[in-house]
Structure 1
Amino acid sequence: MRIGLQVPSFTFPGGEERIAPTFARIAREADQGGLHSLWVMDHFFQIGVVGPPEEPMLEGYSALAYAAALTERITLGTMVTGVTYRHPGLLVKTVTTLDALSGGRAWLGIGAAWNEEESRGLGVPFPPLAERFERLEETLLIARRMWDGNETPFEGRHYTLERPLNSPRSVRRPRPPILIGGAGEKKTLRFVAKYADACNLFDSEELPRKLDVLREHCEREGRDYGEIEKTSLAYFADGAPSVDQVIDAVGRLAERGVDHVIFSQGTGQDIAGTLSEAAVQTGSLVPAGR
């Protein structure tokens, strides 16, 4: 089992001037404590389940680049990038840059996008859902092509790339892992089976059935279900958890077929140390010198 941390809120004690030092401390503690992954949301406004839109929200890849310079082992990703936020070629360049500068620790976390409020607010196009899924599939094809070193032109319905050059290449080989967030059974999980290295599902009673659906898609695509890393986002609604609560959640999700649990920090919580202690007790630490 792998244990990760998501930081979804930057409303830290002390106000906005404390964002940088507090986030830096969390990243260092997660890294030095042997956690496997560190994630930020890729949003421009705060989302409603965490807080009002006016709360501070850092741009995801800038935040991860900052964290990369402060850490040595922990992997870094967005949970997850909305496909409409960035042109695919530029998104792949951004993730490749993060991978190159972090020594091979970047993820591409991606999904079909859902937050119309922030898109309209900042003037980002927000097409209908069917088109967003079309764009998601084209983006996945482009990412695979660029990380394979294939510079031949790409002509899709929504994107045209005359020369998808990607230099330097990623440090992680064959590429940074691709994680698709979402539980849609007809398209999202089919895209996971066809294009991705990992999925992300919420911790819910439906999780085992969603994994069964993913397994069925893998069978249809001729994909080994075991190759896909099953991640789950877990959140403690009643404040910061104890070490025992984290260990219980890890065990329960492992029984449901999850390989990698990502705990959301939540508003006002600081749980990196708790997760590190749980990782020690469950044998989930990332070894030094990985």
Structure 2
Amino acid sequence: MRFAIKTRPEHTTWQQMREMWVAADEFEIFESAWHWDHFYPLSGDMAGPNLEAWTTLAALAQATRRIRVGCQVTGMIYRHPAVLANMAATTDVISGGRLELGVGAGWNQLECDAYGIELPPLKERFDRFDEGVQAMIALLTEKVANFDGQYVKLTDAYCEPKAVQTPHPPITIGGKGPKRTLRSVARWAQQWNVIVPGPAEWKPLKDILVQHCEDVGRDPAEITCSVNVRIDPDQPLDRAVADAAAYGEAGVDLVIMNLPLDASPSVLEPLAKSLASLT
């Protein structure tokens, strides 16, 4: 079992976030660090600060040296897939090949309404997502990319410089939709991330993913299965570590520890020591 951390870019400062990621970079047990892609805080005062995902991610990539960096997950509706592919390639270059490319179909109606961003009906949203992932892969892997979808079209399109990682930065697809999301995971993802109450809810979803992999001729072992475990500041740290252990016993590959909003870097050493006992 492997481990990562996730910080929330809401109600915080750049300096605080940077300090946490730089500190996590020193603990080998944390293989990656993640944040989210939203423009408004998801808790507390919606008018409060929330750092933008990709500009922050590129800066954090520059500030760290070892830890892999990712956004969990980028809403495809917020940025044209061709633009996102170029952002990903550049961020991978900045990081020296440490980017995890997290993507999802998007869901936040409030943000879309506020910014005038169209949030299509669910079927169209996933159709657009599937086309977007394919277009990004084309741009990241082909010298000249062409794609003729219903919603996304590329005509002799370039994405240079290419990412450091080949054939492209690993793609993480987040979500638990059994028909569309998990099928997309089986077709294109190197990592599947889902947020569920516990292992009992995770296992049936993994079974569905395995079936989708069989349908498309994919080895499910090629896909890292990750989940999030929230560290409650009002509970002993052992509680979250026990939750992580339960996921590991269920077959989860990567447990991403969601740090409390007001946590300081001092939380990382005891967390690292506790998690080390599970490996």
User: TM-score, with normalisation over the residues of structure 2?
Assistant: 0.93
1:232 and 1:261 in contact (8 A); partners too? yes
Q: Does residue 190 in structure 1 map to residue 187 in structure 2? A: no
- 1:249 aligns with one of 243, 252, 259: 243
Tell me the equivalent position of 1:43. Answer: 38
- CA positional deviation for 1:241: 4.7
Q: Does residue 76 in structure 1 map to residue 69 in structure 2? A: yes
- 2:14 aligns with one of 15, 20, 42: 20
Q: Does residue 121 in structure 1 map to residue 114 in structure 2? A: yes
- CA positional deviation for 1:235: 1.2
Tell me the equivalent position of 2:234. Answer: 239
| Paired residue type of 2:262 | G
- 2:220 aligns with one of 222, 225, 249: 225
Tell me the equivalent position of 1:277. Answer: 273
2:231 and 2:240 in contact (8 A); partners too? no
2:182 and 2:209 in contact (8 A); partners too? yes
Q: Secondary structure at the match of 2:78?
A: coil
Aligned counterparts of 2:113 and 2:211: Cα–Cα separation in 1? 37
Aligned counterparts of 2:275 and 2:97: Cα–Cα separation in 1? 22
CA distance 1:241–1:165, change in 2 (3 Å): farther
Q: Does residue 151 in structure 1 map to residue 144 in structure 2? A: yes
Tell me the equivalent position of 1:59. Answer: 52
Q: Secondary structure at the match of 1:25?
A: helix
Q: 4+ runs of 1 displaced by more than 6 Å?
A: none
2:76 and 2:103 in contact (8 A); partners too? yes
Aligned counterparts of 1:135 and 1:108: Cα–Cα separation in 2? 17
Q: Secondary structure at the match of 1:153?
A: strand
| Paired residue type of 2:263 | Q
CA distance 1:132–1:61, change in 2 (3 Å): same
**1:221-249 deviation line (CA, Å, top 9, x unaligned):** 1100101000001113453652x334322
- CA positional deviation for 1:72: 0.6
| Paired residue type of 1:170 | A
2:5 and 2:258 in contact (8 A); partners too? yes
- 2:260 aligns with one of 239, 256, 266: 266
Identity value in percent: 33
Q: Secondary structure at the match of 1:179?
A: strand
| Paired residue type of 1:272 | L
| Paired residue type of 1:180 | I
2:172 and 2:191 in contact (8 A); partners too? yes
Aligned counterparts of 2:235 and 2:16: Cα–Cα separation in 1? 17
Q: Secondary structure at the match of 1:109?
A: strand
User: Which range is displaced more, 264-273 or 199-208?
Assistant: 264-273
Aligned-residue RMSD, C-alpha: 1.6
Aligned counterparts of 1:259 and 1:239: Cα–Cα separation in 2? 27
| Paired residue type of 1:186 | K
Tell me the equivalent position of 1:89. Answer: 82
More contact order relative to length (CA 8 Å, sep ≥ 6): 1
2:39 and 2:50 in contact (8 A); partners too? yes
CA distance 1:111–1:52, change in 2 (3 Å): same
Aligned counterparts of 1:275 and 1:67: Cα–Cα separation in 2? 21
Q: Which runs of 5+ in 1 are unaligned?
A: 13-18, 284-290
- CA positional deviation for 1:203: 3.7
Q: Which runs of 5+ in 2 are unaligned?
A: none
Aligned counterparts of 2:64 and 2:145: Cα–Cα separation in 1? 36
Tell me the equivalent position of 1:30. Answer: 24
